[in-house]
Amino acid sequence: MFIKQIPFLKAERLVSRSAFNVLLTLVISVTIASCGTNDDNNSSTNFDRSELLNNYADNIAIPAYEEYVSSTNNLLTAVHEFALSPEDNNKLLTCIEHLKIVSLKWQLASLFDFGPASDYALLEFTNSYPTSTDDIESSIGDESWIAGQASNIDNVGLPALDYLLNEEGAMDKLNANPERVEHLVKQVEFLNEQGELVLETWKSSYHANFVSMTGTEMGSSIGAMLNAFNRVFEANIRKQKLGLPSGVSTFSGNPLPSHVEAKYANYWSIDLLYEALLSIEKIYMGNSSSSNFIDMEGVGFDDYLISLGDEAFGQGLNNDIVAQIQSSKEAVLSLNDPLSEFVLTNQETCIYVYTELQALVVLFKVDMMSSLGVLITYQDNDGD
């Protein structure tokens, strides 16, 4: 049996209210916009994408991993030395100093979350927080515990090390329990090993692959890199580092101070957020990350946009992005450590900083992607 013809009252325009839906909407606008601009933009420019990819591989991605791995090597040496004399407070302090360096170096490396990093789930194993302290405690002394199991994502990586090294009374706890120190060493070994694996894969095989896929279609290197860049910025920087702790991204709007990054160190959260923005800037500009080539101007997405000409979606967009990166960085400096307390006392300021970051997300994810004719292929919330 069939019913035909349903009369209806014209619906109000559907207005999405939550930040969540606004995000989803952005995904769509990109898709639609890129259909219109894809061809003309790409065909009207002689931009050398191969040079761009070589610059990203040789001067940014690989050096970023090298510096990150070098910092995890140093941390490993420090914990090995601490393990030999766990009563030595200075040795612990050295470990903590190195952990902070690793955490800072991680920010740039984290933005290359595709290819080898994605194969080894580097981001998930390295920086998923808040960490499960219950799981960390129960795995201490457990011979069968294997760091790389998927179920351990919530108790390994930088957040677990932050807990073991920076929690209140860390020194006494470590000094009193050799198994705790052993677990610390295991954790750092795993962190280091993961970084080395990804770096090696980039150098040995992925590099050639990466620089050869010069298109902008799905599966191309530019597509993979820009999708990761946008996704990490949106989810791991904007939402995780600030949105959740400040309550901008929670359903209730209540701040979640326990969700700040490096919460046991307590005074690192803003440095890490700032470093993340510097990393965003480096990648956008294509500037070398290697300390041997400080401020080396390479061919980056800024040049790609400029090559599109003196248009709103070309040079004009580049100007907007550069300005917005600047104001985002300035905004972050209006936050104060410890962020876990600041989100409770100064939520308004946090919301202001968040809107600055959000404006940058839109410029990258909607405008830049459309100008470059690259599709966003990830979603904020998976289907099915």
Partner 1 sequence: MTFFASCNPDKSGCTDPSASNYDDNAEEDDGSCSYDVTVPADYTFIDNNGFSTVSFSGQHQRLNMLSEMTTYMKTANGGAVVDGATLINMFGNESHTWEDCDNLEMTGSSKQLRSKTVGGDPETVAQFEGWMNALGSATTGELEGAGVVTSNDGTKSYMQNAMGHEWTQLIEKGLMGACFYYNISQVYLGEGKMNVANDDADPSAEDYYTTMEHHWDEAYGYFTSISECINNDRFWLKYATDINLNSRNSMDVIDLAFRTGRAAISSDLLPLRDAQIQIIREELELVCGAIAIHYINGAIENIGDDAIRNHELSEAKAFIMSLPYGENTMVSLADANSIQSTIGDNFYNVTTASLIDARSQLASYLGISSADAESL
Residue with smaller CB distance to partner 1, 3 or 294 = 3
Buried-exposed string 29-67: b where 16+ CB fall within 10 A, e elsewhere:
bbeebbeebbeebbeebebebeebbbbbbebbbbbbbbb
Residue with smaller CB distance to partner 1, 15 or 208 = 15
**What is the closest distance, in whole angstroms, from the C-beta atom of residue 135 to partner 1 in the complex?**
11
Residue with smaller CB distance to partner 1, 90 or 252 = 252
Instruction: Give the Cα separation of 203 and 58 in Å (integer).
Output: 9
Q: Where does this chain bind partner 1 (CB under 8 A)? A: 1-18, 20-21, 23-25, 27-28, 31-32, 151, 244, 250-254, 256, 259, 380-384
**What is the closest distance, in whole angstroms, from the C-beta atom of residue 254 to partner 1 in the complex?**
6
- Contacts with 303 (C-beta within 8 Å, 6 or more apart), sequence order: 47, 52, 286
Contact 328, 357 (CB under 8 A): yes
Instruction: Give the Cα separation of 55 and 290 in Å (integer).
Output: 12
Residue 304 φ/ψ, nearest 5 degrees: -60, -45
Residue with smaller CB distance to partner 1, 126 or 249 = 249
Residue with smaller CB distance to partner 1, 9 or 294 = 9
Residue with smaller CB distance to partner 1, 178 or 253 = 253
Please return the burial class of 345, using the count of CB atoms within 10 Å of its CB with bins 0-12, 13-18 and 19+. Answer: exposed
**What is the closest distance, in whole angstroms, from the C-beta atom of residue 30 to partner 1 in the complex?**
11
Instruction: Give the Cα separation of 164 and 79 in Å (integer).
Output: 12
Residue with smaller CB distance to partner 1, 14 or 208 = 14
Judged by DSSP in three states, 382 sits in coil
**What is the closest distance, in whole angstroms, from the C-beta atom of residue 32 to partner 1 in the complex?**
8
Rg (CA), the chain: 22
**What is the closest distance, in whole angstroms, from the C-beta atom of residue 64 to partner 1 in the complex?**
29
**What is the closest distance, in whole angstroms, from the C-beta atom of residue 247 to partner 1 in the complex?**
9
**What is the closest distance, in whole angstroms, from the C-beta atom of residue 260 to partner 1 in the complex?**
12
Torsion of CA 96, 100, 105, 110, to 10 degrees: 100
